[in-house]
Amino acid sequence: MKYRSTRGGLPPAPFTEILIEGLAPDGGLVVPETVPTVTPDELEAWRELDYAGLAAEVIGRYASGLSAEALADICRAAYAPEVFGGEPIVPLTPLGEVTLVGLSEGPTLAFKDMAMQFLGQLLEHELTERGTTLNILGATSGDTGSAAEYALRGKHGVAVFMLSPQGRMSAFQRAQMYSLTDENIHNIAVEGDFDDCQHLVKVLAGDTAFKREHRLGAVNSINFARIAAQLVYYFWAWLRHSDAVEPAERAGHRVSITVPSGNFGNIFSGWLARRMGLPLHRLVLATNENNVLDEFFRTGVYRPRTGEATFATSSPSMDISRASNLERFVFEVLGRDPEALREHWAGLERDGVLDLSAEQHRFAAEFGIVSGASSHAERVETIRETHRATGVVVDPHTADGLAVAARHLEPGIPMLVLETAKPQKFPEIVAEAIGAPAELPAELRELLEAPQHVVDVPNDAVAVRNLIEAHAAH
């Protein structure tokens, strides 16, 4: 398996090379040259595997340059029961007409742990093999940052520089990140929103000389290793849901999956799983009031908003108006044509609009993706009603997913909803919905009271560059 850039400027490279690079040198995103397929017989053969074993099989279809033995060891370390609080790593919970896919059992109580724990183990393995170092530059709207930092804290040869928007994350999200004292972790709060943070990452990653001198890498969802790791829980969810189906009927057991979406990385993994042959009927993209992606999938017109026009909502991890992974989807819509992609992206940068309205009819019919948006009132009502009916408390992003999923139920097609985080991370909206926040364990209460370590900077690439130069791993 080799990888290329959506913009055509990357010579074919194996998985282990694009892992270190993150963003392609031409500013595009790396994609596999071909998408591997999985047959019904192969799916059935995976049914008895534990999560780590399934991860080795699924990711192994993409992990060129890595031996099967090394990949198996990495997956066992990443998905050890003690890392995720026991078995199952990903539980499925029926909630009336839908089934919740639990992706928040990891150390930071958010779905980002599912990919980031794998990436942390993989990076340490590769850096040790090469005898070199790496400086991770990332941006977070809440959960990516803490998941990356917990996966990479104390790792040899790695320094992490994580940009977050000042005042735009929950108190719990800030505490998780800023309370870390590991010498290789550097938190940087940017005056602006998440899109500003993401733009700074792209500016510095696009400076080829600076990137090479300081060995910059990425752990945001633009890193294809995260896309590959996220594939696993789509396969796991289908396998576990179809366990109850008669063996003769399993191959045709189709489900739909709703995905709360901000940066489009998670749902792109779902689309890739569908393309590989997993029997997914619909992928339902759920957004909040920052409904740029919903508008795109309804109309075919993509209009990213400015930072000033991006709402600060009660599901803050989706307060994103420029989805960095959408380029991968547009590349597929355009027939994997780098020249056409470059033309469309140049138009987007020039005019602020990308118009694929002529192709919009294909989004559901061919790619299986539909969408919807949720509001604060709907989130509150969904948290309240879910708790009343089932006793389960969900976080606001998962509530967005549940609210949108309810509009896309189809007879005979089970609906699964990906959980994104534990409700303890968002006490204000949970208290508004059910009268009290979700109870925090003692160790998490202590986290909120711990001293915080963060550097405030303006929305300025030079300021971030100076911090990296001062603290980079060499």
Q: Which residues are catalytic?
A: 112
428, 435 contact by CB (below 8 A): no
- Say how far apart CA 87 and CA 103 lie, in whole Å: 12
Phi, psi dihedral angles at 360 (to 5 degrees): -60, -35
What's the helix, strand, coil split of the chain in %, to 5?
A: 50, 15, 35
142, 107 contact by CB (below 8 A): no
Instruction: With CA atoms as reference, report the closest residue to 143 among 317, 17, 313, 329.
Output: 317
Amino acid making up residue 424: Q
Strands 185-190 and 216-217: unpaired
139, 165 contact by CB (below 8 A): no
Amino acid making up residue 229: A
What's the number of CA atoms in the CB half-sphere (13 Å) around residue 456? 5
- Say how far apart CA 141 and CA 263 lie, in whole Å: 10
Which long-range CB contacts under 8 A does 435-444 form with residues at least 24 apart?
A: 438/393, 444/172
- Say how far apart CA 346 and CA 334 lie, in whole Å: 15
299, 377 contact by CB (below 8 A): no
Buried-exposed string 144-165: b where 16+ CB fall within 10 A, e elsewhere: bbbbbbbbbbebebbbbbbbbb
Strands (E), 245-368: 255-260, 280-287, 301-302, 354-355
Instruction: With CA atoms as reference, report the closest residue to 402 among 267, 240, 271, 284.
Output: 284
